[in-house]
Each structure stands twice: as structure tokens, then as C-alpha cells.
Structure 1
Amino acid sequence: MKQLDFFYFFGSGYSYLSVMRIGNVAREAGVTVRWRPFNVRTVMGENNIALRTQHAKVRYMWRDIQRRAARHGVPFTGPPRWPTDPDLLANRVGMVAAEGGWCEDYTLASFRAWYLDGVELGSRQHLDAVLPPLGRDVDATIALADGPAAHERLVQETDAARDHGIFGAPAFVVDNETFWGDDRLEEAFAWAAGDHSLQVQPQT
């Protein structure tokens, strides 16, 4: 079965759409997904992208997300708290979850808590709400997230994203082919399935 790497960031507005949609699309395409949180702030800085200071673009982003959510049947109650997770704790817990094999469940619960319940990512309230239903002890998980292994894995995943030419979130990688943005999600899965127009064009 073909695998697609899903690179995203806890705190990325557009990543919410893909987090909520990717499971169904993957099942329909018969493709497995590897969930790979990374530090998008690092690669955005390296590419001189400063979204926080681009007020018109931020206003457009939230309206665009609202439109796309309505189009795809994704719940949307309004823009969430943003920016969020200043210490990257939610993202580092994502490293712990990825290592332990529960990253998808943690990600879905985290984005729902952030977008739909108004909980700030990386806060104690967020982790208290999200981790116990997943069978995870909050203090023990935070201790792991604060440890060197989680910090190092976040660096490694960010390096991997950079190596694929990723400059924002979400992004999808299949066989070293990179697609950026929630609006490229279906196209990425078409590539994974071998159905993309560029793949099926007759060779001349």
C-alpha cells in the first residue's frame, strides 16, 4: 500500500482542514498516512515568511478557511486563538505521540479542542482535556515532551520537511513529490494512487 507523508504544525490554521479531512480521503484512496508534525516557524523564517505581520493576508486566511470548511463539511465556529503554542509544547507532545504510535488520535483531539472548544494549544487546559481520554498521563507526557528526545525529533522532522522543499503547512509528500496546502490534498492522493494526469500522460 502506498504511503503519504503528512507534514503539519500544531497552530497552523490551514492544517486544521487537512487534519479533519485526510483520514476519509486516505481510506477512499487506499493510501496509508504517516503523520509528521514539524516546526513550520523555522522554515517560514528561513524563507522570510512572516504571516503574523501580514494583516490583510491573515484576514483573508480565516475567511478562506471558513469557506473551505463549509465546502468540505468540516466544522467551523470561527477563528481560533492564534498565534498559539509559543513554547511548542503541543508540537513536542506530537513528537511523543508519533514515537508511541498515537499521533493521529492526539492530533485530531488537539485540533478539535483548539478550533471547536477554544482551548489554547500547548496550555495545561489543552493537555488536561486531550490526553486523559487517550489513556495518557498528563504530567508523564509533559515530562517526555520536555526531554531531549522530543526536542531532537522535532528538529529532525523539521530538517526532513526542509529537505523536501517544504516552506509552509500543511504539506504532503509522496515518492519525493511535494504538494503544499489543503487545496492540494486530493491531488497528492491522486499522485499516491498513480492517477495524477501527469503520471498517466502517454510518453512521447
Structure 2
Amino acid sequence: MTKPKLEFWFEFASTYSYLSAMRLPAAASNAGVEVHWRPFLLGPIFAVQGWDTSPFNIYAAKGRYMWRDLARRADRLGLTVEKPDPFPQNGILAARVAQIALERPEGIDFCQTIYRAQFSKGLNISDPSVVAACADAVGLPDGVIEAAQSDTNKLALRQTTDEATRRGLFGAPSFLVGDELFWGDDRLEDALDWAVRHAQ
């Protein structure tokens, strides 16, 4: 029997992606599901909908609820939350580095370190020095920031974001099992269960 597979599509500026990124490795291991981590950008997807910022900023009541909900859910997971300023953060550089990092054993640790820096420590992940510190903390090789800024790697992130659009993604975190889409941290368990029950 083929091992169940799931794609985890995440945006570093996404609050609920933070929760999923921190709990997915253990949850997937317990379920016996192989996960492909896919960093992408929500900005171009939001722009098509006429948004120039997070919907949590556009709709104030929704934003207030989200931050409270995030704090409750994080507390249950033993995580802390500090709202970064500004919000949302520009995660382009972090996503570019993640594309390279995820080809290495340190990749998931790097992604989790970026999320902690942003949503637990309130740091600005658009600052190259913050991203570099996260890369250093998990042992990524020297030169990874420069490699992430190559034309080839920049194009790869644009292509991944285009793929997200073609496949119907509209938010993060999103989980894909084949063409079956699950959206939101609260659908992580449903996605894992679907992957197990529909493994080819």
C-alpha cells in the first residue's frame, strides 16, 4: 500500500499557518502520512479579490476575533502569540529561503523558527537579518540568503503561487490530498484522515 500523502500549503504571514506548522509534523507522523511542505504567497491571490491587505485588517470585527481565537488555540498547544507590527508581514524572503531549506533536513525547523520569530517574539520577518538569524539557528549553510535571491529561485516561488491559484487555493493554511482541498488549521485532522482513508 502506498504511504498516504498530503500537501501543506502555507504563507508565513498567515496566523493560522503558524499553528499548523507547529503541530503538523507530530500529527502527520502519528497518522503515518507523508507531508510535502509548499510555501506560497497570498498577496497575489488576495489582489485578484480586490484586497490589498489581510481580510483580518479589512474586517475589524473578524480581525479582533481571529487574534483572540489564535491566542486560545495557541495556549492549548503550549504556544505563545505576540502580534507583529506591521501585520501582515512581508514573508517573501522567508518563503524563498524555505524553498531551498525544505530540500534539506533542516527545512521544517527553519519554517517553524520563522513562525516563532514572527508570532511568538513579534519580530519583523521582512528584515533580512531576522531571516538570516533563523537560518543560522537551524544550521542552514552560509550563502542560503543569497541563493534564495537568485532569479531561478524567485521564479520558482512565482510558479508555486501560480500553481496555488490554478488549484483553487484562496487562503492558508491549506491542505491538499490529490485535488481534495481542506482550508484552515481546524481542518488539519480532517485532511490527515482523508489522506489515510483515500491512500492509493
Q: Report the TM range for the smaller structure's normalisation.
A: 0.7 to 0.9
Once the two structures are superposed, what CA deviation does each residue of 1:107-139 show, in whole Å capped at 9, x if it has no partner?
Answer: 01111111222221131331232111222345x
Of 111, 130, 135, 2:134 maps to 130
- 2:70 counterpart letter in structure 1: I
- 2:7 counterpart letter in structure 1: D
Match of 1:30 in 2: 32
1:89, distance to aligned residue in structure 2 (A) = 1.1
- 1:25 counterpart letter in structure 2: A
Of 56, 64, 85, 2:61 maps to 56
Counterparts in 2 of 1:82-121, with a 5 A limit?
Answer: 82-85=87-90, 88-100=92-104, 102-121=106-125
Match of 1:200 in 2: none
Unaligned runs of 5+ in 1: 196-204
> For the residues of structure 2 that align with 1:151 and 1:77, how far apart are their CA atoms?
30
Unaligned runs of 5+ in 2: none
TM-score normalised per structure 1: 0.86
Counterparts in 2 of 1:164-183, with a 5 A limit?
Answer: 164-183=167-186
TM-score normalised per structure 2: 0.87
> For the residues of structure 1 that align with 2:42 and 2:107, how far apart are their CA atoms?
17
The percent identity for this pair of structures is: 38
- 1:90 counterpart letter in structure 2: A
- 2:81 counterpart letter in structure 1: T
> For the residues of structure 2 that align with 1:98 and 1:152, how far apart are their CA atoms?
17
SS of match in other structure, 1:15 = helix
> For the residues of structure 2 that align with 1:112 and 1:30, how far apart are their CA atoms?
26
Match of 1:141 in 2: 144
Whether the aligned pair in 1 keeps the contact of 2:82 and 2:121 (CA below 8 Å) is: no
Whether the aligned pair in 2 keeps the contact of 1:20 and 1:74 (CA below 8 Å) is: no
> For the residues of structure 1 that align with 2:20 and 2:147, how far apart are their CA atoms?
27
> For the residues of structure 2 that align with 1:148 and 1:167, how far apart are their CA atoms?
26
Aligned residues: 192
Match of 1:202 in 2: none
Of 7, 13, 16, 1:5 maps to 7
1:100, distance to aligned residue in structure 2 (A) = 4.4
Once superposed, what is the RMSD of the aligned Cα atoms? Answer: 1.9
Match of 1:39 in 2: 41
> For the residues of structure 2 that align with 1:101 and 1:154, how far apart are their CA atoms?
20
